Amino acid sequence: MAIIEVTNLVKRYGDFTAVNGVSFAVEQGEIFGILGPNGAGKTTTVECIEGLRIPDGGAIKVCGLDPQRDTGELRQLLGVQLQKSELPDKLKVGEAMELYSSFYRHPADWRELLETLNLTGKLDAQFRRLSGGQKQRLSIALALVGNPRVAVLDELTTGLDPQARRDAWDLIERIRDRGVTVLMVTHFMEEAERLCDRLALIDSGRLVALDTPAGLVSKADDQQRLRFRPSAPLDHTVLTTLPEVTSVERAGSQLVVTGTGNLLLAVTTVLARNQVVAGDLRVEQTTLDDAFVALTGRRIES
């Protein structure tokens, strides 16, 4: 059963169309990701779902409700973690939880929630004294305190170190295990691949694909990637003019060549002809990022 239905959503800022006819449905109990590069329209889309922005076109239903009309009712069902969740500096963790739980008809036991999120020791700590990871965990606790049916997490792990990011992933899985449907915005490939049941790829306000991570990767299956360190400077055009090559990018001292067909043979032949040796040559597996390149011609993570 679809818990969120977005149909032909359009949102403009002045003359600029940030979301241009996006449609998707989120099923109950899934972790659904919206993935795309900066400025793709991800946040605008979820803010329309949350009722924070007024769409210029299309229709949205969340748990059968209209986010514009049924704002009060929706607030009871949606747990929203804002992109830059800031609380007053001096507000204590326990006070914040108490305050937020008072907004809801059927709040969760916030002490238990803090325990789950490993924040019990911070009950009397002021917001400003929390680390980045602790602030993120608190913002999740606040998003969950109303016992929501749907949690909306926007760029939850941006700015976290790798360990804190992994902890946040475990947490998102635990949220789903509590029966909450999760709608998350991300531009991290690994995060999307590891966590999401299905993904909507968004680029320049349009939905370019919607599938499971594995399904999306299989769309780019014919794409391969070679990574190597050229032994001498190389004019990229000798590679980009090859019919097998889709793109050539520099990554530090390495070159990353993406393409199709017998890419390895084509590239190594050209290198040999130019007396260039491919040091540390690796053939890499197709990733979600490759799928995005195959679909749009550019990368998500820059």
Ligand X SMILES: Nc1ncnc2c1ncn2[C@@H]1O[C@H](COP(=O)(O)OP(=O)(O)OP(=O)(O)O)[C@@H](O)[C@H]1O
Q: Which amino acid is at 103?
A: F
Q: Which residues contact 91 (CB under 8 A, 6 or more apart)?
A: 99, 126, 127
Q: Looking at beta carbons only, is 125 or 208 nearer to ligand X? A: 208
CB 81 within 8 A of CB 143: yes
**Of the candidates 227, 232, 272, the residue with the CA atom closest to the CA atom of residue 250:** 227
Nearest distance from C-beta of residue 43 to ligand X, angstroms: 3
Nearest distance from C-beta of residue 16 to ligand X, angstroms: 6
Q: Looking at beta carbons only, is 108 or 200 nearer to ligand X? A: 200
Both structure tokens of 195: 């966590």
Q: Looking at beta carbons only, is 203 or 244 nearer to ligand X? A: 203
Nearest distance from C-beta of residue 40 to ligand X, angstroms: 4
Euclidean distance between CA atoms 245 and 222, whole angstroms: 12
Q: Is the dihedral of CA 155, 75, 144, 173 positive or negative?
A: negative
Neighbours of 271 (CB within 10 A): 21
Q: Looking at beta carbons only, is 11 or 137 nearer to ligand X? A: 11
Euclidean distance between CA atoms 20 and 273, whole angstroms: 47
Q: Looking at beta carbons only, is 52 or 99 nearer to ligand X? A: 52
Cα 122 to Cα 22, 113, 187, 282: the distances in Å are 41, 13, 30, 47
Nearest distance from C-beta of residue 50 to ligand X, angstroms: 12
Residue ranges in contact with ligand X by CB under 6 A: 13, 16, 18, 36, 38-44, 187
Nearest distance from C-beta of residue 176 to ligand X, angstroms: 22
Q: Looking at beta carbons only, is 17 or 254 nearer to ligand X? A: 17
CB 50 within 8 A of CB 39: no
Dihedral pair phi/psi, residue 27, rounded to 5°? -85, 150
Nearest distance from C-beta of residue 79 to ligand X, angstroms: 19
Nearest distance from C-beta of residue 222 to ligand X, angstroms: 28
Euclidean distance between CA atoms 46 and 124, whole angstroms: 32
Q: Looking at beta carbons only, is 13 or 103 nearer to ligand X? A: 13
In DSSP notation, 169-206 reads HHHHHHHHHTT-EEEEEE--HHHHHHH-SEEEEEETTE
Nearest distance from C-beta of residue 189 to ligand X, angstroms: 13
